[in-house]
A and B are shown apart, each in its own frame.
Chain A
């Protein structure tokens, strides 16, 4: 029972669960705008949990990470994606490759798998938030699953970013975050990556008149 845990840890656990809930919501979301909104919420949960870990363990550099997450993943990137969707005019219902309940069923299997995988590691780890490691791992796997089941370009990028969210959460929960320099570097990489991909979207659409990555199959040599 959680009775022994302090309140802020309960909140971190709760936010971890939110992260997972949002990951599942992403799996079942058909519209791209909805996906972007969910991504923003996931970023918010991540930023909040990082801030709470920072406060409870008195690690100041985590505050910077939290702020960075807030600015990049809750404000900047979603805003950019909204604009992109509007410009490219791609906000329609997208049928995923596998139907949604089946995807979620696979997702549940992944959660069980991830948790049991994380169990020995989190038992070794002495940090207070160790039980969240399984959830972080599950979020990574779920984001990967989302990338597999979507054929459109923007959902794939969001899936990639959600995966990064999961990794980031794993870092904060298991080891109280990476050194600030590394985090800054990663954040910069992600930011640049997103912009480059945005440019690519325009290119892809100009070439194929669609953002459906199925058309890329034509590029392979016969």
Chain B
């Protein structure tokens, strides 16, 4: 139990500390693919440090909600990162919140961010909040469907149990997970404000979603949000690994498997980050009103995944 708690804390802290590194790696890959010279991999840390040192500038009419939201978003993402098995499958906190609760945590963070965006009352803030909720209302059920497919297979909504079924029991090829994987990729691009749904580097009012919401934030508040964004990317990558490539995560109570698990995680994250930037580089940003179609497709693929489970795997 104590090792479990230690592992839990270590995993969460590692996720918080390493998340900007993954972000830096993705940015680097992206720059290479676009033929630019890349920023150093530690660039996100420097940005965070710079932001934390600055004075916060807040609009006159900002309510306490506006100042509270970044903390809330960060806390939610830290919590989410702690729920996903990354190196060890031994998470004492996971019985308190299963995969459905994880979706709830993401939703909680999103609602707070959207409300904070509407708080100042600029046209950009409300625009961003509206678009974010538009993306979310399809992405969230789609993510749930992905989890449901996995939990129909493993008879559980607990992430450690899912990982155990997929990685540590007899190897079985699950066709339904192929559907879930495609749906998951589509959802995670949307949820992490990536091409083809959103573009993290744009500030063009016709296209931006996430950036429009956080335009009013500065200094430490912005730093917390940026960090939370990096954490979200990390958590989604960890989720993708846990659901579709779980081999290597140390099973419960096997401490000597840990070094290998860390290596496996680093390798998978590096490949995953590169794959993400590659997919981003070859796809085009869709029009805003194609985004619901894109996510609707993801949602229906998730539903199909569940159906395929009934067709082929029962």
Contact = CB atoms under 8 A, between A and B. Distances in A.
A213 to B, nearest CB: 24
A202 to B, nearest CB: 31
A143 to B, nearest CB: 16
Contacts, number: 73
B313 A1 contact: yes
A24 B301 contact: yes
B72 to A, nearest CB: 33
Nearest to B295: A101
Interface in B183-212: none
B178 interface: yes
Contact of B178 (A10, A18, A111): A18
B254 interface: no
B41 interface: no
Interface string A158-174: 00000000000000000
Contacts of B66: none
Assign chain A's interface to a size class.
Answer: 20 to 34
Contacts of B262: none
Assign chain B's interface to a size class.
Answer: 20 to 34
Overall SS of chain A's interface: helix
A135 B176 CA distance: 13
Given A16-B312, A131-B312, A104 B297 contact: yes
Nearest to A99: B293
B179 A17 contact: yes
B296 A10 contact: no
7 contacts: A2-B174, A13-B175, A17-B178, A101-B300, A111-B307, A112-B307, A131-B311
Interface of A: 1-3, 7, 10-11, 13-14, 16-18, 20-21, 24, 28, 99-101, 104-105, 107-108, 111-112, 115, 131-132, 134-135
Given A100-B297, A108-B304, A115-B311, 5 more contacts: A13-B173, A13-B175, A17-B312, A21-B304, A104-B297
Would you list the 4 A-B pairs with minimal beta carbon distance, nearest first?
Answer: A17-B175, A101-B296, A10-B173, A104-B300
